[in-house]
Amino acid sequence: MSTIAKPTVKTYQNYINGQWVASSSGETFPVFDPSTEETIAHVASATAADVDKAVKAARAAFDSGPWAQTTAQDRGRILFKIADKIRQNTAMLAELETRNCGKPIVEAEYDLADVATCFEYYGGLANKVTGHVNPVPANALSFTLREPVGVAAQIIPWNFPLLMAAWKLAPAIAAGCTCVLKPAEQTPLTAMELANWFAEAGLPPGVVNVVNGLGEVTGAALVAHPGVDKVAFTGSAAVGKIIVKSAADTLKRVTLELGGKSPNVFFADADWEAAVDGALFGVFINQGEVCSAGSRVLVEKKIYTKFVEAMTEKAKRIKLGPPLDRDTKMGPLVSKEQYDRVTSYLEIGKKEAKTAIGGGRAKAFGKGYYVEPTIFYDVQNSARIAREEIFGPVASVIPFENEAEAIRISNDTPYGLAAAVWTRDIYKAFRVVKSIRAGIVWVNHMQPTYVEAPWGGYKQSGFGRELGPWGLEEYLETKQVFVNLDEAPIGWY
């Protein structure tokens, strides 16, 4: 068991226009440690009036503040300063992240390294945004300017709390946008700690605001606000659809990352040890609370029975435990709501398919939202556990006969975020890569994610891309400039 002393229960305000402000309603909501079910903080609930203040602050900072005069180099330096703060405070942030969302501390440390790297990447990219000269057939100069899209509303989930904040904030700041970030109500704490450093890093008041509260209240007010130019959202497909409808009223730009039901495809010729390991890693890392989880494990019939057995044997050794323990490989799910959702799918799965291992609450724990790593097999691709995102440690193993069938089943889903294929045959590997309709395809691995490479989905997994230059692109407008070099009048009339 962890011996780290319990921190005091803090109350966090919202961060608006460079100030920490209480809710206009005076209300707060509790934030929990999912491993103990205890309250670890209280956070001010931002009302529609508070959201309005935050958007107006972001609007003013964008339209008339000093921010518009900052150079791309200045913005890059600010991002590097934020990254430095994160690196200096990694231990504190990783512990807070783990306490708040239940992920193993070692995974939280990896996340924190990625958070800092993301700010550094966009710090470096800020002054590499360039326009284009257009070869128009006129005595003129035609070129493009890249300009920030404006005020960005950024709504993020609870599975990688600070990393999702970084994926949203870093490119927006690099582009010169201003932001109103709404963390998930389950996991706002690390983003609030981050906000402590914004002013010191050089962000003028109003450039980044952080508001907290329920999605249906605070998030909805933010998305509907006419002062917002762009919405960037990561979360459920159901909420993604609500956001697109609401944003349509003022034609906001929208980018969506909505998760999926990603196939992890194993051919008989795959490296055996790597494959079994990759099947488990693909779906059980971060308790399976991963948008790109390889939750459909497709296995060639020739190796199917042996593969399910090997997965099951290895899954028995996954160490569940208090997430602050360094040898824990799986912590609790993030919340009671998520625990209820996942365990309800376990009941469905037990009826729809066969259970190799797991299927319920992890009984060793009196408290906390612990769920056993679960493997269902002989799953039909039409089953609910093969079609609906569960977002927990639940694998649905599906047999396939040949390459064509593997591709057909892989694509038979409304989603298209990610996929992986495991084989030693490069011809087959690349044929499958080309045939799968997904935004990310891994070969002989699953889940590695780097800020240099694009992230986002096809089909109902959303639209737009995060990370790399693609992520910055989503925060930029393109202005066409035409400069007439011909001094004569147009002479039409």
Catalytic residue positions? 257, 291
Whole-number Cα distances in Å, 7 to 33, 39, 83, 96, 414: 12, 11, 25, 9, 43
Beta carbon nearer to ligand NAI, 243 or 310: 243
Q: Quick one: angle between helices 105-125 and 90-101, nearest 10?
A: 120
Host H or E run for residue 10: strand 10-12
Q: What is the DSSP string of 77-144?
A: HHHHHHHHHHHHTHHHHHHHHHHHH---HHHHHHHHHHHHHHHHHHHHHGGG----EE--SSSEEEEE
Smallest gap from Cβ 136 to ligand NAI, in A, equals 42
* Nearest position to ligand NAI, beta carbon: 215
Q: How far is the CB of 210 from ligand NAI (least distance, A)?
A: 12
H or E stretch covering 432 = helix 426-435
Would you tell me which residues interact with ligand NAI (CB under 6 A)? 155-157, 159, 182, 184-185, 215-216, 219-220, 223, 234-236, 239, 242-243, 257-259, 291, 341, 389, 391
Q: Is 359 helix (H, G, I), strand (E, B) or coil?
A: coil
Quick one: 44 or 156, whose CB is closer to ligand NAI? 156
By C-beta, is 100 or 312 nearer to ligand NAI? 100
Q: Which residues contact 315 (CB under 8 A, 6 or more apart)?
A: 280, 284, 356, 357, 358, 373, 375
**469: its two tokens:** 């230059």
Cβ neighbours of residue 270 closer than 8 Å, sequence gap 6 or more: 422, 423, 424, 444
Query: Among residues 210 and 303, whose Cβ is nearest to ligand NAI?
Result: 210
| Rounded least distance, CB 379 to ligand NAI, Å | 18
Q: CB of 369: closest distance to ligand NAI in angstroms?
A: 13
Please state the closest distance from residue 360 (CB atom) to ligand NAI, in A: 18
Q: How far is the CB of 243 from ligand NAI (least distance, A)?
A: 6
- Minimum CB separation from ligand NAI for residue 266, in Å? 24
Q: Which is nearer to ligand NAI, 228 or 429 (CB)?
A: 228
Rounded CA-CA distance 13/4 in Å is 26
User: Which residue, 53 or 182, is less far from ligand NAI as judged by CB?
Assistant: 182
The answer to whether 192 touches 21, Cβ cutoff 8 Å, is no
Q: Which is nearer to ligand NAI, 243 or 429 (CB)?
A: 243
Q: Determine the Cα–Cα distance for residues 323 and 334; give it in Å rounded to an integer.
A: 11
Contacts of 440 (CB under 8 A, 6+ apart): 292, 417, 418, 419, 454, 455, 456, 457
5-11, long-range: CB within 8 Å, 24+ apart, which pairs? Answer: 7/40, 7/99, 9/39, 9/40, 9/41, 9/42, 10/41, 10/42, 11/41, 11/42, 11/43, 11/44
